[in-house]
Amino acid sequence: GQSLEQPSEVTAVEGAIVQINCTYQTSGFYGLSWYQQHDGGAPTFLSYNALDGLEETGRFSSFLSRSDSYGYLLLQELQMKDSASYFCAVSSGSARQLTFGSGTQLTVLP
Amino acid sequence: GAVVSQHPSWVICKSGTSVKIECRSLDFQATTMFWYRQFPKQSLMLMATSNEGSKATYEQGVEKDKFLINHASLTLSTLTVTSAHPEDSSFYICSAEPGHQFQETQYFGPGTRLLVL
């Protein structure tokens, strides 16, 4: 089966940088995705890493190390609107099913 | 691009009734769609993988006779919760994968909140 570990909560102040780590155990790994979910909303896609290295998209970056079964999401120049839950998810299996981590609740303080 | 819609967004029903939720990919064709369920303060749990033109694949512990999935076309999948009970109250979310993109990303619908009284 698949399992993912990520911190349950992170708190930071506006303008700061936050890194949310994710370690995983899976078979048939294709890639690691990150999703953001605000209270009451559906997940929105942030990034996807299939290969080792860093992917940058604006204020958000995501990193993957396949050999370490580890990745992280880096959020820079934090804004209040970034307060949300962040999920890492591995895609695996013949249908590229997503298995989600338990989520990290990010709280951005003024 | 890559927009997924769900209907209805909210459902309140009496125990014992059946509820159908539609998931549509609006600007792309999706051979595969996925159905998730999320309870408050918990993660998304994959319920089933919906394949156009064939039977859905259910995850362990998900009753296929209770959660009927039909993938009638490349842009529409439906989930029917049969004989719903209060414990079925949850946030149901579908996703679809365009398939042709390198990133193999799943795009999620806005979700359907089901409350069974």
pLDDT at B88 > cutoff 70: yes
pLDDT score recorded for residue B100: 58
pLDDT of residue B32: 87
Look at residue B101 and tell me whether its pLDDT is greater than 60.
no
Taking the CA of residue A110 and the nearest CA in chain B, the distance in Å comes to 24
User: What is the C-alpha separation between A1 and A97, in angstroms, rounded?
Assistant: 12
Instruction: Tell me if B21 sits within 8 A of B7, measured CB to CB.
Output: yes
Tell me if A89 sits within 8 A of A100, measured CB to CB.
yes
Chain segment A22-63, per-residue pLDDT in tens: 999 988 888 999 999 999 899 998 999 999 999 998 999 999
Q: Using the beta-carbon criterion (under 8 Å), do B43 and A41 form an inter-chain contact?
A: no
pLDDT in tens, B58-80: 999 999 999 999 988 889 999 99
Poorest-confidence range of A37-41, B98-102, B113-117?
B98-102
pLDDT above 70 coverage of chain B, percent? 94
Of B66, B115, B71, whose CA–CA distance to B94 is shortest?
A: B71
Residues of B contacting chain A (CB within 8 angstroms): 32, 34, 42-46, 49, 51, 57, 93, 95, 97, 103-111
Q: Give the whole-angstrom CA distance, residue B34 versus residue A59.
A: 29
Nearest to B105 among A42, A48, A95 (CB): A48
One-letter amino acid for residue A22 of the chain: C
- Among A82-86, B28-32, B68-72, B75-79, where is mean pLDDT lowest? B28-32
- Residues of chain B with Cβ-Cβ distance to A51 below 8 Å are none
pLDDT surpassing 70 at residue B24 = yes
Smallest CA–CA distance, residue B47 to chain A, in Å, is 11
Cβ–Cβ contact A92 with B under 8 A: no
Q: Which residues of A touch B108 (CB under 8 A)?
A: 35, 42-45
Average pLDDT estimate for B18-28: 94
Q: Is the pLDDT of residue B89 over 90?
A: yes
C-alpha angle A42/B90/A37, rounded to 5°? 20
Tell me, what's the pLDDT at B63? 94
Q: Chain-wide mean pLDDT for chain A?
A: 94
At residue B80, the pLDDT reads 97
At residue B9, does pLDDT exceed 60?
Answer: yes
More confident residue, A98 or A75: A75
Query: What are the strands, taking DSSP E only, across chain A?
Result: 3-5, 9-13, 18-25, 29-37, 44-49, 53-57, 60-65, 70-75, 84-92, 97-100, 104-109
Of A96, A97, A102, the CB nearest to B43: A102
